[in-house]
Chains A and B, each alone.
Chain A
């Protein structure tokens, strides 16, 4: 109830505040987590948080004040307005949106945080048991966390939006060792608060523990250029890292040269290539009804038939680029202002079967799964958790995990086959501007890249 009371007080304060625009976020959350290292449940805990922030815009400048202590709300609003006044030097620009008053529930039958720890622990114990059954396992790492969050957004334009959401995240890794050599394999899974998808992974866990051991006898890839086929998980990471971040307009809205590079209408890939970001798909971790500026979620084509046709916006970037807001301003929690982020980003499926895709490759690499990825706009690197040689149209020997790198513009053009088997990846989270991990999903069918640089010996 605490935040509702604070919200009512703030609603009045922001309406009267002396700024071009003021918004406030209030949040209360609960979370629980369990971390296994090796056979032992090393760390288990529960946390609760309460807090909020006020963000004000004056003459194009922003002031932002965050707090855990819900006292002196008037002082917080005054400080945000004063700070914004110190910064601002031009006209404030925010894309127009209609004020919204709404209430959105979490949409799960059971709040995962309130499920007794004993019940969640039992599933994780089973996974750990499976890993340790495998010979040559050195250690295991399992990290489970869940959270429930109740937020209130309100603004000087009259919006008042209460949203609840729940989130579950699970990582499982097996580490194998032989003669001082160490290899690992892992998986990453998540859901919108539904425990069912993360409690049915026994087969996957068994597979990854076998895989960690098998990697000990796998050779390293020879470094160089290859035709590379990416599985849906890794292709999803690729589309998120290599392309998705480039579509975030806060990178380009004040940078003329980048804007030229990312001009709408430019051909980025073949006519078969379609890339979408949308927070409107039910059940995905990147979904929401309203973003953290109170803008309704949309479905945004970033690339359609190979052409750049859209990008992701906050209200400010949309106004400055004279485009429509897309509802992509998100903050990881009340300690941060919303910034332009992806939601669920994916390559739409094409028509090519996996067999046809690898059928005419004489020597290539099939890269699956992921350790992670990072990007500097033009260049990206991402690492596959699993890799195989492709020889004469067939999957051949397993390799040590590979790191793929390249120039995003060349690589998008080099995608020469898009599979018919779209799959979404719900694991992990995205980091940007110190805000990590934000729940997102990404996905793709299998894709083939004709010339891709692979690190190795």
Chain B
């Protein structure tokens, strides 16, 4: 790494080398049985340079081949954006716990036992269900250094457990599923098993919904699949800078329900989305995005922040081996005070959405969502009466989140990037074949 930096400095004003190396072991179960063991070793080295004021970039997994890496970065710098930022010099970083030596040491046999335990819990409850499950553990080492003396290095462990179950009766298919992840090892199927068992209980019978507007409760998985995608785009500083974010001009204004609180949080202990610094070496911070329904901030990396005349929020991230771009670490929605049972009890006729399929295909920038209810339940007179089918839920998150009946009392991590409670919305458009 030092050598690449030295070589790059000979042809560029500034340079930054970013390396990621990972080792991962995965245990796969197919059709309720152990099927596949995988080990993946990966390493890559990325070089970003500023040459004649412009950004050049190249990446390779062939870490011995640095002359080519420098040449490629130089070629791309002819066309790259003008660099508006300065690479960060030496920084002090917050202490964020993201490594547990225990995670690395979990024997493969214990991972197999964990998966088998989860599958046994589910197949013991519902005969005929076919489960696919996955247990993963890994360690990632990140290292970064730049020509202004900036340096960062950390190791992160992760462990995850996920399952999807399919129950087919005739042409009817029921899908259930859940997952959980942490930097620490999990030894019990715990919440994942409980959540799937609850889904199976609630989906036992089928129910019909009419086509009209009605109250809808989004579970944490439902929030992730239906409502979050437009917000991810809207709070991205780059979308704001382009003028394509519907809330870009509304900093300080009340846009959402006054109970709605949202922040980006990269410093939660043992959360795989956490890290002491972002991929540009900017220290991690908790960034409030919505306070009391008011828009309070957007998320920035170095370049976007410089163009917008503000400071990086430490949200520079390199997806798919590319240049850093603003990206949330993890969205956290504050819990409210209403239980799920109280929400359901309040509804005369409505819907609980656990999984919406295809919601992110429409006009995401504009806040529209529209999807098929892959897993959801009908509520009648305060009780869940069964699972719905052939049902579409549509709306616009800016209208839906302006008037929220209640936020749930308990927030849950879902998909590794979101912590949210249940969200109870008084009126959402539902279309059904029922």
* Residues on A facing B (Cβ under 8 Å): 33-35, 37-38, 40-51, 61-69, 79, 83-84, 86-87, 89, 117-118, 121, 138-139, 175, 177, 180-184, 223-225, 254-255, 257-258, 261, 335, 337, 371-374, 376-383, 400-401, 403, 405-407, 409, 453-457
Contacts and interface: CB of A to CB of B under 8 A. Distances in A.
A254 B374 contact: no
Given A61-B35, A117-B79, A374-B358, 8 more contacts: A65-B41, A68-B44, A83-B38, A87-B37, A182-B365, A223-B429, A258-B168, A453-B390
Tell which of A45, A51, A86, A117 has the most Cβ of chain B within 10 Å: A45
A54 to B, nearest CB: 10
A372 B363 CA distance: 11
A175 B365 contact: yes
30 contacts: A43-B80, A43-B323, A46-B76, A48-B59, A48-B60, A48-B68, A50-B61, A62-B35, A64-B36, A64-B39, A83-B37, A89-B33, A121-B79, A175-B365, A223-B431, A225-B433, A255-B130, A257-B169, A258-B168, A371-B361, A374-B361, A376-B374, A377-B173, A381-B361, A383-B362, A400-B363, A405-B358, A407-B390, A409-B171, A453-B433
Nearest to B109: A86
Interface string B21-50: 000000000110111111111111000000
B165 to A, nearest CB: 11
Interface stretch (B200-208, B242-250, B279-287): B242-250
Nearest to B41: A67
A228 B431 CA distance: 16
A48 B62 contact: yes
B372 interface: yes
Interface in B2-26: none
Contact of B36 (A61, A182, A371, A403): A61
A249 B58 CA distance: 39
A382 B358 CA distance: 7
B102 interface: no
Contact of A41 (B62, B79, B243, B370): B79
Contacts of A403: 358, 361-362, 370-371, 392, 394
Given A43-B322, A62-B37, A371-B362, A224 B370 contact: no
Given A49-B61, A182-B366, A261 B170 contact: yes
A45 B61 contact: no
B58 A45 contact: yes
B358 A373 contact: yes
A45 B322 contact: yes
B168 A47 contact: no
A455 B68 CA distance: 51
Contacts of B33: 89, 254
Contact of A383 (B42, B75, B79, B358): B358
B101 interface: no
Contact of B30 (A83, A254, A401, A454): A254
A66 B23 CA distance: 10
A372 B392 CA distance: 17
Interface in B90-119: 108-109, 112
A453 B392 contact: yes
Interface of B: 30-31, 33-44, 57-63, 65, 68-69, 72-73, 75-76, 78-81, 108-109, 112, 128, 130, 166, 168-173, 175, 211, 238, 242-244, 246, 321-323, 325, 357-358, 360-363, 365-366, 370-372, 374, 389-390, 392, 394, 429, 431, 433
A456 B394 contact: yes
Contacts of B169: 257
A9 to B, nearest CB: 17
Contact of B58 (A46, A51, A454): A46
A177 B357 CA distance: 27
B399 to A, nearest CB: 12
A79 B36 contact: no
Contact of B79 (A118, A255, A373, A409): A118
A373 B42 CA distance: 31
A61 B34 contact: yes
Contact of B37 (A63, A69, A183, A383): A63
Given A45-B322, A378-B173, A455-B394, A401 B41 contact: no
B231 to A, nearest CB: 15
Contacts of B79: 34, 41, 44, 117-118, 121
B108 A184 contact: no
A33 B431 CA distance: 41
A47 B58 contact: yes
Nearest to B393: A455
Nearest to A400: B363
B76 A223 contact: no
A44 B431 contact: no
B37 A139 contact: no
A382 B366 contact: no
Nearest to A29: B61
Contacts of B30: 254
A382 B325 CA distance: 29
B416 to A, nearest CB: 13
B224 to A, nearest CB: 15
Contacts of B433: 225, 453
Contacts of B168: 255, 257-258, 261
Given A87-B36, A182-B244, A378-B173, A255 B59 contact: no
B361 A373 contact: yes
Contacts of B61: 48-51, 68
Contacts of A37: 238, 242
B37 A86 contact: yes
A64 B37 contact: yes
A45 B65 contact: no
B62 A255 contact: no
Contact of A224 (B63, B68, B363, B431): B431
A236 B102 CA distance: 48
B31 A255 contact: yes
Contacts of B39: 64-66, 79, 83
B37 A46 contact: no
Nearest to B323: A43
A184 B270 CA distance: 39
Nearest to B60: A48
A123 to B, nearest CB: 13
B374 A255 contact: no
A44 B80 contact: yes
Nearest to A407: B390
Closest 9 CB pairs of A and B: A254-B31, A381-B358, A83-B37, A383-B361, A223-B431, A257-B168, A46-B72, A455-B370, A378-B173
B62 A50 contact: yes
Contacts of B170: 261
B130 A41 contact: no
A46 B322 CA distance: 9
